[in-house]
C-alpha cells in the first residue's frame, strides 16, 4: 500500500432489547476501523485475506466487514480496535 493509505476509527454503542425479557437490555460497544485503499491495490491478489488473516492471528474477532473499491471497514469490539490498528499498520510498513 502507498502513502495515500489512511485510517479512520469510530465507536458506537448498540442497544438491543431482548424481546423475551423486556427488562434485559444488551449494550454492545463496537468500533470501526476504516482503511482507505489506493486504486492501484485492486490488482493485489488476496488483499482482503491478507488483512483478515493478520487481524485474526491476533485473536481479534471481526464482527462485520464492509468494503468498497477503495475502502475497507472492519467492525470490531471497542477493546480490540487499537490492536487491530497496530496490526494493520505493521502490514503497511
pLDDT digits 0-9 by tens, 17-58: 666 666 655 667 888 999 988 888 888 899 899 999 999 999
- What local confidence, expressed as pLDDT, does residue 1 receive? 42
Tell whether the model's pLDDT for residue 4 goes beyond 80: no
Are the C-beta atoms of 36 and 71 separated by less than 8 Å? Answer: yes
pLDDT tens digits, residue range 57-84?
999 999 999 999 889 999 999 899 999 9
Domain spans in the chain, listed from the N-terminal domain onward = 7-92
CATH superfamily of 7-92: VC0802-like (3.30.2130.10)
pTM of the full predicted structure? 0.75
Number of residues assigned to the chain: 93
Alpha-carbon Rg for the chain, nearest whole angstrom, is 15
Are the C-beta atoms of 85 and 73 separated by less than 8 Å? Answer: no
Amino acid at each position: 500500500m502507498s502513502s495515500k493509505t489512511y485510517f479512520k476509527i469510530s465507536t458506537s454503542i448498540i442497544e438491543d432489547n431482548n424481546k423475551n425479557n423486556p427488562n434485559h437490555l444488551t449494550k454492545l460497544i463496537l468500533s470501526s476501523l476504516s482503511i482507505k485503499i489506493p486504486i492501484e491495490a485492486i490488482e493485489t491478489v488476496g488483499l482482503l485475506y491478507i488483512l483478515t488473516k493478520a487481524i485474526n492471528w491476533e485473536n481479534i474477532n471481526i464482527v462485520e466487514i464492509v468494503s468498497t473499491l477503495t475502502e475497507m471497514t472492519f467492525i470490531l469490539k471497542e477493546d480490540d480496535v487499537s490492536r487491530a490498528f497496530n496490526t494493520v499498520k505493521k502490514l503497511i510498513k
